[in-house]
């Protein structure tokens, strides 16, 4: 018994990383759970006032902000000025994003574009880089908000897209590149209790490369998921095939989340689960690597967020 006690005593212990989650709601709770699952991490929930007090005492190393974008801006600036690693929702405009980028040092700011940390989308990115379906020519993004979605009255589709779909829209520059021009058809009229479809379209600089995002509110659609009631469909068409990813429809219809259809073969990636909790686990692991090991974030989220906001500004 004494031997094992001594062995545990000399076992190398990781440096403690202190993470403060500011805000409440489902996302804050999921992030706290993800941090608590990592050895050597002390994660606590705090209000904005408590965070400022922690900053004054140098009692935290990283901040996860789960507040509306308007409230998050001030908190993020305070954390960045104190030299902390800050993970924040995307600001609502490029000018506000530029403020945060200007206040940050390299690697200290992560714009929390959650879909980019979803395993099926990361596998999709790998397949695109490996030229699995040839040169991309079309990216289709479809959002269907199901039963349980609370809509503001009146509904401003442009504001909804900024607040809820920028992470999904950021898949476009991540997978293919920045847009050259964009257009939109946004409808706020409600028909039988549901808002009409809204569509963003864009053109990439390369010839014959296009993309669009369609947003539908479907009050009768039941999405079986432990997270927000939304189905996200993605279809990337290349010269040699099609890759499709269905978020939440895999749970509803028990279909593979990621499927690649080539000219003569179809491959279903059945071992890649439709598990949104893995998004928060990936975010937490990245925070620890940046804070403890000094590694840069795995994605240039500030640049991808800027390009997603630019699509909206071009289209509106």
What local confidence, expressed as pLDDT, does residue 101 receive? Answer: 97
Please give the pLDDT value at position 190.
65
51 and 22, same domain (yes or no): yes
Say yes or no: 168 and 232 in one domain. yes
Q: DSSP H helical segments within the chain, as ranges?
A: 2-10, 26-36, 48-57, 69-81, 94-103, 119-129, 157-164, 166-169, 171-175, 249-253, 277-293, 301-315
pLDDT at site 10: 45
Alpha carbon distance 219, 226 (integer Å) = 17
Domain co-membership, 270 together with 149: yes
Q: Are residues 88 and 181 in the same domain?
A: no
**Contacts of residue 31, Cβ cutoff 8 Å, sequence gap at least 6:** 21, 43, 64, 66, 280, 283, 284
What count of other Cβ atoms lies within 10 Å of the Cβ of residue 256?
Answer: 18
Residues 6+ apart with CB under 8 A from 257: 120, 245, 246, 247, 250, 269, 272, 273, 274
In the chain, the number of structural domains is 2
Same domain, 291 and 209: no
Residue 314 counted as domain residue? no
How many Cβ atoms are within 10 Å of 299's Cβ, its own excluded? 18
**For residue 316, is it within any domain?**
no
pLDDT of residue 53: 92
pLDDT on residue 7: 47
Can you give the residue range of the structural domain that contains 25?
2-112+279-296
Question: Could you tell me if residue 315 is inside a domain?
Answer: no
User: 240 by DSSP, 3-state: which?
Assistant: coil
Same domain flag for 33 and 126: no
CATH number at 27 reads 3.40.50.720
Say which CATH number the domain at 178 has.
3.30.360.10
pLDDT, averaged in runs of 10, over the chain (316 residues): 49 79 93 96 94 91 95 95 96 96 95 96 95 95 85 84 95 97 83 74 96 88 74 94 84 73 83 89 96 92 97 92
Whether residue 63 lies inside any domain: the answer is yes
Q: Are 94 and 136 contained in the same domain?
A: no
pLDDT recorded at residue 142:
95
In a domain, 305, yes or no: no
The predicted pLDDT at position 253 comes to 58
């Amino acid at each position: 018994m004494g031997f094992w006690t001594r062995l545990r005593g000399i076992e190398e212990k990781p440096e403690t990383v202190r993470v403060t989650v500011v805000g409440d709601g489902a996302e804050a709770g999921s992030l706290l759970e993800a941090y608590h699952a990592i050895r050597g991490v002390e994660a606590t929930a705090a209000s904005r006032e408590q965070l400022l007090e922690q900053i004054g005492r140098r009692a935290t190393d990283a901040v996860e902000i789960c507040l509306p974008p308007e409230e998050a801006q001030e908190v993020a600036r305070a954390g960045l000025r104190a030299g902390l690693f800050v993970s924040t929702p995307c600001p609502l405009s490029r000018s506000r994003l530029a403020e945060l980028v200007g206040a940050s040092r390299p690697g200290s700011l992560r714009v929390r574009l959650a879909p980019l940390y979803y395993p099926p989308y990361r596998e999709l990115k790998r397949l695109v880089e490996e030229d699995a379906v040839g040169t991309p020519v079309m990216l289709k993004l479809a959002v269907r908000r199901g039963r349980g979605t609370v809509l503001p009255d009146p509904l401003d589709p442009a504001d909804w897209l900024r607040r809820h779909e920028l992470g999904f829209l950021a898949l476009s520059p991540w997978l293919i590149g920045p847009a050259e021009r964009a257009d939109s058809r946004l409808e706020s009229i409600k028909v039988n209790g549901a808002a009409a479809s809204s569509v963003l379209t864009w053109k990439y600089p390369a010839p014959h490369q296009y993309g669009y995002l369609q947003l539908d509110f479907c009050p009768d659609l039941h999405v079986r998921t432990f997270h927000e009631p939304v189905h996200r469909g993605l279809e990337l068409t290349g010269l040699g095939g099609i890759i499709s990813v269905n978020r939440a429809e895999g749970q509803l219809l028990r279909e593979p989340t990621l499927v690649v259809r080539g000219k003569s073969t179809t491959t279903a990636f059945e071992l890649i689960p439709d598990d949104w909790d893995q998004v928060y686990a990936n975010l937490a692991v990245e925070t620890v690597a940046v804070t403890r090991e000094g590694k840069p974030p795995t994605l240039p989220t500030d640049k991808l967020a800027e390009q997603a906001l630019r699509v909206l500004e071009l289209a509106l």
